Amino acid sequence: MKPASFEYHAPASIDEALGLLRQHASDVRLLAGGQSLVPMMNFRLVAPAVIVDLNRIPELAYIEDAGSVVRIGAMTRQRAVEFSSVVGEKLPLLREAIKLVGHLPTRTRGTIGGSIAHADPSAEIPMVFQALEGEMVARGPQGTRTIKAADFFRDALTTSLAPDEILVEVRLPAMPSGAGFAVEEFSRRHGDFAIVAIAAVVVRDGARCTKARLATAGVSAHSVRLRAAEEVLEGTLFEDLGPGENAIARAADIAAELVEPLADQNASAEFRRHLTRVLTRRALLKAAAGTG
């Protein structure tokens, strides 16, 4: 199928793009990589009257090492993130997760900001931002504001971005040196949408786990942090390969209890709950052992 007819604009600056949003507020969509929007338009799932293409705004594509924080322009291609030395050194969890995003052609066109703003429940990138406690920078008529990941994702394909705002930058704190991490995902085939995915980060101080982070993708309507499961691990003493099996098993059980799993053509709610338990345990074992 082909999309319904629409009016097309390709602004050269953020201010010009914001002006177009104000002008066409009733029925406008922003185009980033187009890996989600274009198929939805082709299948007539959405039919915006106006498209504002952000691809000709050079100031939206960059990866910047700001010391304790990595700043990434919203229009930075996922492929650039995947091969960035800054990301590899300071955000290895993001580098690991982005390898699971679609295939080479989709990562070549897809943008990091586009994935976040689209907020697909199965997307890996929002999961990483939950686990690493990232922030999103939005710009609108009232200026710029920063939104924490925990407050950004509200429901399936729904975020806290206002209709007249543009996501311009994302920020992630650099992971502590030596932090263990892992991403475990179950999908029908490599590159398919995640039916369930878990991201784990474990930080240790000597023999003790000082910080644990767990986040989901594919399980429920949007990515979530599994805070009660994290609390089971924090303060736990490590054994040879990480926290004791009992602590990891308990955290995995709690993770399965915390989620509100979806039921659809891919999996029942109960199967997603089961996968949450299994993948949480696997991810934590790898992260605790530093083999992610």
- Average pLDDT for residues 99-121, to the nearest whole number? 96
Residue 211 has pLDDT above 80, yes or no: yes
Whether 172 and 136 have beta carbons less than 8 Å apart is answered as no
The letter for the amino acid at 132 is L
Beta bridge partners of 52: 9, 30
Whether 137 and 167 have beta carbons less than 8 Å apart is answered as yes
Q: Supply the CATH classification number for the domain 58-173.
A: 3.30.465.10
Beta bridge partners of 139: 144, 166
Beta bridge partners of 71: 64, 171
111-147 confidence digits (pLDDT tens) = 999 999 999 999 999 999 999 999 999 999 999 999 9
Say what the pTM is.
Answer: 0.95
CA 158 distance to own-chain centroid: 13
Q: Which residues have a Cβ under 8 Å from the Cβ of 59 and sit 6 or more positions away?
A: 13, 14, 73
Residue 122 — φ and ψ, nearest 5°?
-90, 0
Residue 109 has pLDDT above 60, yes or no: yes
216-267 confidence digits (pLDDT tens) = 999 999 999 999 999 999 988 766 445 566 899 999 999 999 999 999 999 9
With CA atoms as reference, report the closest residue to 101 among 223, 220, 183, 219.
Answer: 183
Tell the burial category of 55 from Cβ atoms under 10 Å away from its Cβ (0-12, 13-18, 19+). middle
Structure tokens at 288: 């605790």
146-159 confidence digits (pLDDT tens) = 999 999 999 999 99
Q: How confident is the model at residue 191 (pLDDT cuts 50, 70, 90)?
A: confident
What is the pLDDT, as a whole number, of residue 190?
86
42-94 confidence digits (pLDDT tens) = 999 999 999 999 999 999 999 999 999 999 999 999 999 999 999 999 999 99
Q: Supply the CATH classification number for the domain 180-289.
A: 3.30.390.50
Domain boundaries along the sequence of the chain: 7-53, 58-173, 180-289
- Rounded-to-integer distance, Cα 182 and Cα 280, Å: 10
| 219: helix, strand or coil | coil
What is the pLDDT, as a whole number, of residue 1?
75
Structure tokens at 231: 């609390």
Pick the CATH number of 7-53 from 1.20.910.10, 3.40.50.1100, 3.30.43.10, 3.90.76.10: 3.30.43.10
What is the pLDDT, as a whole number, of residue 241?
47
The DSSP symbol for 236 reads: P
Beta bridge partners of 74: none
- Rounded-to-integer distance, Cα 254 and Cα 271, Å: 16
Structure tokens at 114: 């586009």
